[in-house]
Each structure stands twice: as structure tokens, then as C-alpha cells.
Amino acid sequence: MTSWKTSQKPIVVGLLLDEQDSGLLKTATSLARQLGSSLELVHAVRPVFNYIGAGDVVVNPYYGYDWVLNDVEEQQSRQRIELVKKSLASNLTVNTHIVRDYPAEALSTIAHEVRAGMVLCGIQLKASKSLLGGLSTAFSLAAHAECPVMLLPITTSIDFQSPSTLLIADNLEAEGRIALESGLRLAQDLTCRSIVHAHVHNLGRPEIDHIVEQIRTAMTLGTIPNNPKFSSEFYQDTVRQRIVDELVYRYHNTEGVQLLDSQYQPAVRFGEPADQLHQLVKEHKAQIMVFGRHHMIHKKNFAFGKIPYQAMIEDQVASFIVPDLERPRLMTTKPGE
């Protein structure tokens, strides 16, 4: 199986070192136990900013105090993160890191150094007034991290030691294939009770009716054989069945899935990806959504490729975003190891 391996590999956890970390720590602890992984707790201390003007002349009269203030902040952060470590179960392997950098870069650096299996990061469901307020760290990681990223709403905690349902979003392209293979491996590691392999077709009912009307016109003109059963429902059912066949084909052509047959079920929806995926999550009570990475980011609708950002985030659900295996990586481990 050419997929990302997460079991028995370090889990990098981004912490704010405040009360918002509670659910994230519970989830990380549960995940580490289930996967047999160590925890790498990371907190980013803001970089020291240089205030300079023309000719590199320092214009901030308090410049010298910035270093003192940052040293104090770093010392306080080290004390707090060590208290967090002591609060965790003694049978877990836990390491701590204070990094002077922006959060996304700090997490990426530690993930590279420890050859992490994933990065676990909290995310605000309600953004602030700024475009990326509350989302910038998670968004950057999801778009650029070298290893899979699990995004968890800060109000959520998940017990992975209880049977869970995993939903894999497959766009029937290369990203979907990697999401499928990595999602199935994760499902095995977490002993999931159910796997929903989903594809959302972008045709809505108005588009289907329009296509059907065009085909009916062609039938009337005799350019294609007439079918008395032909209708919008018939067309949609035909398209759905073809997609189901493709999903099942992709699933059965993934190595080592025989043990998952009883948990597997394909699902096809039509319409807006965010609405349909969230509906599937609610119907199946999924705790994890798995996506392949979509590199092209559209500024107008704030989307990863064809999948809107809104589709990737759901309250009380973890989103597992998997980078492609073909892109150059700094890690020295081979894909699937």
C-alpha cells in the first residue's frame, strides 16, 4: 500500500498553552495510545521583530528591551509546557519543544526533525474579522506540510480508543487515490467500525434537468436511440451507479484492504461539496474526514483546488489532510515506511 504511515511514528501537537488546549491534548493522548506513538508538544514563541528605517538605522527606542521581553516569554512558555507534560499519563513518551518562529513554521520544523507521522493542530471554527484570522496556522499546514495534518476544532475532543467512523473524500483523481490509500491504512490502525468512501458530483438538480432536456431533444430528432425510461431520475441513477462502480474498483485495487470489507461502504452525492459532505458526516456520525491535498488555492472562494475550505472543516470532526507522495520531501523515509 503506497500510503502515509502514521502508526508508531511521532505525533507533533501544536499548543497555545492556555485553556483552549484541553480538547486537543485529550485527543492527542488517545491518538498516541491507539497508534503506539510518542507525542512532540510544540509551542511557538513570536519572533523578535527588528524596527529599521532607511540606512538600517534602528528607529524603535525600545529595541533593546524586545530581547529581554522575548526571553521572559520563552522561559514562561518552557515552564508551562513542562507542566502540561507532567499532567499527561506517565506511560506515554512525551517531548517538549519551544520554538521561536511563526506557529506553522515551528510545527513544520519539528515534524521534519522527528520524522513525524502527522501534525495535530487546533482550528477555530469562527474566524476573526481578518481574512485568515484563527485559520492561518491550520491553513498553512494543510497546504504545505510534509506529512499528514489532522485539524481539530478547538471545542472538540475525540476518543480514538472507541470504535469510530471514517469518511474518505475521493475526487476520483490522484489526490483522491492517495486519500483513499492513506485513509484505509489509518482506519486499520484505529480499528474503525465503518469506512464511508465518498464522492460528490458537482451536478445539481437544475444541471441534471438541463442535460436531460438536451438528450430528449436529441432523441426526438433521432440522433440517439429513444429510451422510454429516460428521465432526470434515470440519468442521475445511471451516473451514480457508474461512480459507485469506480469507487468500489479503486477500493478493491488498494493493497491489503480485505480485512476492511465488512466496514466499507461507497457513497455518492450530487451538489455542493461542503453541504453534501457535511450531510454524509451527520448521517454516518463520522469522527474523521480524510482529504487529499489540493495545491491550487483560489482566493475568491478560499478553496483547496476543487474542494472548498468549508467542506474540510466540521464541528466535532477531525479533518485528516494527506499530501501527495510524489512531491519532493525533506524527510528521508520512503513513502509507506
Query: Residue 302 is placed in which grid cell?
Result: 478560499
Fold of the domain spanning 11-49+57-322: Rossmann fold (3.40.50)
What pLDDT, on the 0 to 100 scale, is given for residue 241? 96
What pLDDT, on the 0 to 100 scale, is given for residue 337? 45
What pLDDT, on the 0 to 100 scale, is given for residue 64? 55
What pLDDT, on the 0 to 100 scale, is given for residue 145? 87
Q: Which amino acid is at 136?
A: S
Chain-centroid distance, C-alpha 114: 20
What is the residue-wise DSSP string for 35-88?
A: HT--EEEEEEEPPPPP-B-GGG-B--TTHHHHHHHHHHHHHHHHHHHHHHHHHS
Give the H or E element holding residue 188.
helix 174-189
Q: Which amino acid is at 43?
A: H
- Report the alpha-carbon angle 155-158-163, nearest 5: 155
Q: What is the pLDDT of residues 205-219, one digit of tens each?
A: 788 777 877 877 777
Residues 4, 323: Cα–Cα separation, whole Å: 9
Q: Assess whether pLDDT exceeds 60 at residue 53.
A: no
What pLDDT, on the 0 to 100 scale, is given for residue 128? 41
For residues 247 and 266, the answer to whether their CB atoms sit within 8 Å is yes
Q: What is the 3-state secondary structure (H, E, C) of 21-49?
A: HHHHHHHHHHHHHHHCCCEEEEEEECCCC
Q: What is the pLDDT of residues 116-168, one digit of tens each?
A: 999 999 988 765 444 334 457 887 888 888 999 999 998 899 999 888 999 99
Residue-averaged pLDDT of the chain: 82
Q: What is the pLDDT of residues 318-332, one digit of tens each?
A: 999 998 765 444 333
Residues 150, 11: Cα–Cα separation, whole Å: 10
Domain ranges of the chain: 11-49+57-322
Q: Residue 117 contacts by C-beta under 8 Å, 6 or more apart in sequence? A: 4, 5, 6, 7, 8, 9, 10, 11, 35, 37, 147, 148
Out of 69-78, 125-134, 274-283, which region has the weakest mean confidence (pLDDT)? 125-134
84, 92, 94, 332, 334 from 87: Cα distances, Å: 5, 11, 11, 33, 35
At 15, the pLDDT band (50, 70, 90 cuts) reads: very high
Q: What is the pLDDT of residues 175-201, one digit of tens each?
A: 899 999 999 999 999 999 999 999 998
What pLDDT, on the 0 to 100 scale, is given for residue 66? 57
Residue 8 vs residue 205, higher pLDDT: 8
What pLDDT, on the 0 to 100 scale, is given for residue 99? 94
Q: What is the pLDDT of residues 222-262, one digit of tens each?
A: 777 777 777 888 888 889 999 999 999 999 999 878 778 88
Residues 251, 15: Cα–Cα separation, whole Å: 36
Q: Is the pTM of this model over 0.95?
A: no
- Contacts of residues 70-74 at CB distance under 8 Å and 24 or more positions apart, as own/partner, are 70/45, 70/46, 70/100, 73/45, 73/46, 74/45, 74/98, 74/100
For 170, other C-beta atoms within 10 Å of its C-beta total 26
Residues 108, 144: Cα–Cα separation, whole Å: 9
Residue 124 vs residue 93, higher pLDDT: 93
